[in-house]
A = this chain, B = another copy of it.
Amino acid sequence: MVTMTTTVTAAGVRAAAERIKGAAVVTPLLENEWLNQRTGGRVLMKAETLQHGGSFKFRGAMNRLSKLTPEERARGVLAWSSGNHAQGVARAARLFGARNVIVMPKDAPALKVAQVKAYGGEIVFFDRYSEDREAIGRRIAEAEGLALAPSYDHVDIIEGQGTVALEAAEQAAARGLSFDAFVICCGGGGLTSGCATILEEISPATEIHIAEPEFYDETWASIQAGRKLTADITKKTLCDALATPSPGDITFDIMRRRVAGGVTLSDDEVAEAVAWAFKYLKLVIEPGGAIALAALYHRKLPTEGRTIGITLSGGNVDPSLYATILGRFG
């Protein structure tokens, strides 16, 4: 009998780091003088835009795939995702030669769809305004004997994503720094809860903050309410990567205990940060991946004299949207 653990631990994050070593990119922790000047602090940016597949998602996917049995991998995996997790799973599966089926919204960015295909993923489209991706995914997985690689609410995924903060803390320590706060782009909470777990061990004083898009700020609302609330998923947002209906069960339990604050950013605020990153960081960041940067850029958090880590979570943005953003804010 297989016992499924739902306990995310710092040791689990460290084990994940060993498991994905060599396969995942050790992304740079960047600092920018203009941002430091603007915030009055030191902002250390973990550039997961430079990860395989263009976002941090490969870490969790690789950890999950590594922990499957050879028999499970031989049957293949299934994931549902707006695109970044899809790419992470497709790339990890390819490394193992495993079949992978990805359930993606019809309106996912074309670039994300193209890259999942390039990694060999089999895509099943759904309408995210009228259909339930989870129901579709579970049905296919059961019918075809595929293991699930959930996009956030799974211990292996969460522990894999936690390696972002583990690496960032080690890179900061190598410069004699530690984080007063760590600000995370938050959708379903996989990255947030993984990072919160490892930072609790490494530097318990580090405040964990989340940044969420307007209409999809149900995680901070849930934490304040003490129970899981649901976003209105008919609302449009630039941050497609963060348009999750609600936090996960596992992730919510961690986040309600560990998250000290949440900020909400409008599409325009995020787009301005995307354009600023173009000009001053020379990094392509997708809106959902730039929301923690936007929180600091717009000074939604105390920064003066503090050392703050942030995630630049992903860079998969369609050229046409990016050009539009540059036209308005560049």
Contact = CB atoms under 8 A, between A and B. Distances in A.
Of residues A28, A52, A54, A111, which shows the largest number of chain B Cβ atoms within 10 Å of its Cβ?
A28
A251 interface: no
Contacts of A322: 278, 323, 326, 330
Contact of A326 (B50, B54, B281, B320): B320
A57 to B, nearest CB: 14
A61 to B, nearest CB: 15
B315 A323 contact: no
A176 interface: no
Nearest to A119: B33
B33 A52 contact: yes
Contact of A30 (B50, B278, B284, B315): B50
A283 B278 CA distance: 9
Given A111-B279, A283-B284, A330 B326 contact: no
Interface string A317-330: 00110110011001
A283 B258 CA distance: 33
Contacts of A283: 282-284
Interface residues of A, number: 26
B54 A315 contact: no
A275 interface: yes
B330 A278 contact: no
Nearest to A323: B323
A308 to B, nearest CB: 19
Nearest to A319: B330
B319 A279 contact: yes
Interface string A104-123: 00000001000000100000
A33 B51 CA distance: 11
Interface in A92-149: 111, 118
Interface string A58-77: 00000000000000000000
Contacts of A52: 33
A49 interface: yes
Contacts of A282: 49-50, 54, 283-285, 315
A92 to B, nearest CB: 13
Interface in A271-329: 275, 278-279, 281-285, 315, 319-320, 322-323, 326-327
A322 B30 CA distance: 23
Given A30-B50, A34-B118, A283-B284, 6 more contacts: A28-B28, A50-B281, A50-B282, A278-B284, A282-B283, A323-B323
10 contacts: A30-B50, A33-B52, A34-B118, A278-B284, A281-B284, A282-B285, A283-B283, A284-B284, A323-B327, A323-B330
